[in-house]
Amino acid sequence: MSLTLLNPLDMHLHLRDGEMLANIAKESAHTFCGALIMPNLVPPVSTKEEVIAYKQRIIAAIGDETFTPYMTLFFKPSYDKAFLTSIKDEITAIKLYPAGITTNSEGGVSGFDVEELRPALEAMSELGIPLCVHGETNGFVMDREAEFVNIYEKLAHAFPKLVIIMEHITTKESVAALDRFENLYATITVHHLLITLDDVAGGMLRPHLFCKPIAKRPEDKDALLDAVLSGHPKVMFGSDSAPHPKHAKESCGCAAGVFTAPLALQILAELFDKENAALEHLQAFISGNAQRIYKLNPPAKTVRLKKQSFHVPSDYKGVVPMYAGEEIAYTIEEVNS
């Protein structure tokens, strides 16, 4: 059995910078026609020059013209309409991080005062720039995302024309919020469709499955699966694939992030196949919804997968992927553009 996906898009990808970018970006990009690139470098990507320069470094590292890096800017409340107008053509979205909530997010937003955010968010709304949000409060780790739903709703209500993407959602509360506001959308990772906190800390501690937001409860995973497999039109695939060196994951104080990009399509094919979900839903999840929501028109790229066991490498140049050393049921047969 084989399966062809058209224009796969990863709407939430970390490529990092420097040595990690040079080493691993190619693997992350290979099976996608494009990806939304997260801006949480040190320092964060927050000027036009930085966006252009980072995009050039990405293109140089990947060396594949069939892959488009869709760039994001690190949100600051100080952005005004003149600045946003000047940068509009270089970016696909702006990413908002609450301060200190995840890797390299120290310069993010503290408090969510609508009036403080109004100038920037109204300008984005007028210019048609989507706002991507890492939606976690600084509350108890299992409650952070559900607590943030109030903030999503406040923003969605105050800026009804702003496209707001709830990034890497992990809870039934976030899934439910999708249907309450027209302008709320979401990305979902592959790992949050597969694991719960049980997989991270229910047996032995498994640092390679430790990520932010942390994997939640079984009923949360089920709500995510329901949304994805039933073809919810407002959810898009975003891997949140985040390469860290092996030693940074396996030492005391493990860094947050799961590396899935090179395996995401294979794992999704297996998941949709197992659940007898319609292939059309996978196509919409992996590309169609994102094209519609973000108004993207990527050049053609097709990926053919085959139902044939694939042995996941123990690492990709020192970065340990999800399912390292294990077998998954689908393998990439061909990538064409």
Residues that bind a second copy (CB under 8 A): 140-142, 196-198, 200-202, 204-208, 210, 214, 217-218, 249-256
Shortest Cβ 178–a second copy spacing (Å)? 24
3-state secondary structure 277-323: CCHHHHHHHHHHHHHHHHCCCCCCCEEEEECCCEECCCCECCECECC
Shortest Cβ 218–a second copy spacing (Å)? 6
Cβ pair 51, 71 in contact under 8 A:
yes
Structure tokens at 68: 């488009």
Distance of alpha carbon 230 from alpha carbon 178, whole angstroms: 14
**Which residue number, 193 or 282, has a Cβ lying nearer to a second copy?**
193
Neighbours of 147 (CB within 10 A): 16
Shortest Cβ 208–a second copy spacing (Å)? 7
Q: Residue 162 half-sphere exposure, CB side, CA atoms within 13 Å?
A: 25
**Which residue number, 160 or 218, has a Cβ lying nearer to a second copy?**
218
Catalytic choice (226, 240, 273, 315): 240
Shortest Cβ 186–a second copy spacing (Å)? 23
Q: Which residue has the tokens 């997968």?
A: 305
Is residue 240 part of the annotated active site? The answer reads: yes
**Which residue number, 59 or 142, has a Cβ lying nearer to a second copy?**
142
Helix (H, G, I), strand (E, B) or coil at 69: strand
Shortest Cβ 229–a second copy spacing (Å)? 21
Distance of alpha carbon 298 from alpha carbon 34, whole angstroms: 7
**Which residue number, 154 or 217, has a Cβ lying nearer to a second copy?**
217
> Which of 53, 42, 34, 116 minimizes the C-alpha distance to 303?
34
Sign of the torsion angle spanned by Cα atoms 185, 191, 195, 197? negative
Indicate the DSSP class of residue 214.
P
Shortest Cβ 20–a second copy spacing (Å)? 18
Neighbours of 19 (CB within 10 A): 11
Sign of the torsion angle spanned by Cα atoms 87, 238, 255, 316? negative
The catalytic site residues sit at: 240
